[in-house]
Amino acid sequence: MSTQLKVVDSHSEALRAAAYVNDPESAAILKRCFGDLGLMEGAVNRGTIETAIKDLDRNRSPQVLVVDIAGLELPLEAMQRLSEVCEPGVEVLVVGERNDIALYRSLARMGVAEYVFKPLTYEIISEILARVTSGTVQQRDQKLGKLVNVLGVRGGVGASTIASSLAWHLSESVGRRVALVDFDISFGNAAMLLDSPPNHAFYEALETSERVDMLLLERATTKVTERLFLCSAMEPIDASSRVTGAGFHTIVSLLRQKFHYVISDLPAGRNDLIDRVVFEDGALVLVSDGSLASAREVSRWRSYFGASQAGRYLLHIQNKVGGLSDLKAKEFETAVGQPADIFIPFDKRVAAAANVGGASAMTQRALVRAAGQLASKLAGHQHETAKQGLFARLFRKKS
């Protein structure tokens, strides 16, 4: 059963500082600096950035991270892989072996806090770490978690089930910290699917979005597993009309500072909330069945969303393929204008498990397969964005 979770100072259970360096001299300097700066929980590990990637793929990220890229042929590629496992908000200090201005500029564009080359000195490292830990480094935009908005083109197509299964897959199979936010607050579908109690504090946070902060949001967030967290409520029928685009932006922006992924489950229908979401950076995942009514709505939503672009793109999932009301595949494709990105066959076992909720629902084979496909497509778009030179999305970028 779920428990309430504090998300304020999400690093309270993680090391405040961690270092991965491959020579004893650098390790000794860092240990001394950590101790003198009062980073008593700081850990200095022998290894390189590759060691850090492996460790952080399994464990929580520290607030300050020192990594050694000495000897690597492709240090920028390694930095990109590190960014995929680091939680948002991590300050990264990179240690190299040469005074390379081109490398320094590339790392600066990626947004790392500082680059220094060996041999390290106590004076330089302590001064850099003091600035980083005191918050006096040059102001930079914070790296944010990835936003995925899931929208059913009409009711009953399975959008909440797909949003929940994606959140489960990314947290339990991929090992990322995920926040699932159910904005259809009159029904609390995500809470039922994850066998978690609705939380009235989430509704209160939405009602006072102009004043919400991490302290209030902590009460609105429920821990489902070690890596999966939920914001969901079940309020009176008219409550959903009070969820505004401004409230969405505030809640999601705060959560993106703490989680690798924020997945929002959106209510069907056009309103102020949807109008705001459509133009947010991130993925919009349209969910439909194969009916004529769904084909019409998918086409309308595609037209409203417009062309995909770097950082903002649309994916379409056709769910319950093979249902009694489905058009023929070619007819549906013609009505929409293009084929869906992912097809999920109708499976009565999924519907039965969804009524029970919990791990048994999220581990149904059809959902696991579809969630894996969707996660891969989301990752593919992110990697394409990186190839286009948007390295400033990694870690933190300078303003």
Do the domains spanning 15-138 and 146-393 agree at the CATH topology level? Answer: yes
pLDDT at 267: 86
For 289, phi and psi rounded to 5 degrees?
A: -100, -165
| Angle of helix 75-85 versus helix 101-110 axis, rounded to 10 | 20
pLDDT at 297: 95
Structure-model confidence comparison of residues 273 and 93, the more confident one: 93
> Has residue 296 got a pLDDT over 70?
yes
**pLDDT tens-place string over residues 18-41:** 999 999 999 999 999 998 888 766
Domain positions in the chain are: 15-138, 146-393
Q: What percent of the chain has pLDDT over 90?
A: 50
Instruction: Identify the DSSP state of 108.
Output: H
**pLDDT tens-place string over residues 118-166:** 999 999 999 999 888 776 555 445 678 899 999 999 989 999 999 999 9
pLDDT at 211: 80
> Has residue 240 got a pLDDT over 90?
no
Q: What is the rounded average pLDDT of the residues 301-306?
A: 89
**pLDDT tens-place string over residues 207-223:** 887 788 888 888 899 99
State the Cα–Cα distance between residues 60 and 354, nearest whole angstrom. 30
Q: What is the rounded average pLDDT of the residues 329-336?
A: 95
212 contacts 254 by C-beta, under 8 angstroms: yes
pLDDT at 1: 42
> Has residue 2 got a pLDDT over 60?
no
CATH of 15-138, one of 3.40.50.2300, 3.40.30.10, 3.40.109.10, 3.30.470.20: 3.40.50.2300
For 148, phi and psi rounded to 5 degrees?
A: -125, 115
Contacts of 250 by beta carbon, 8 Å cutoff, 6+ apart? 209, 210, 212
State the Cα–Cα distance between residues 343 and 373, nearest whole angstrom. 10
pLDDT at 142: 60
Write the class of the CATH domain 146-393.
Answer: alpha beta
Most trustworthy range by pLDDT among 251-255, 276-280, 290-294, 386-390: 290-294
| Residue at 325: amino acid letter | S
pLDDT at 306: 86
**pLDDT tens-place string over residues 169-180:** 999 999 899 999
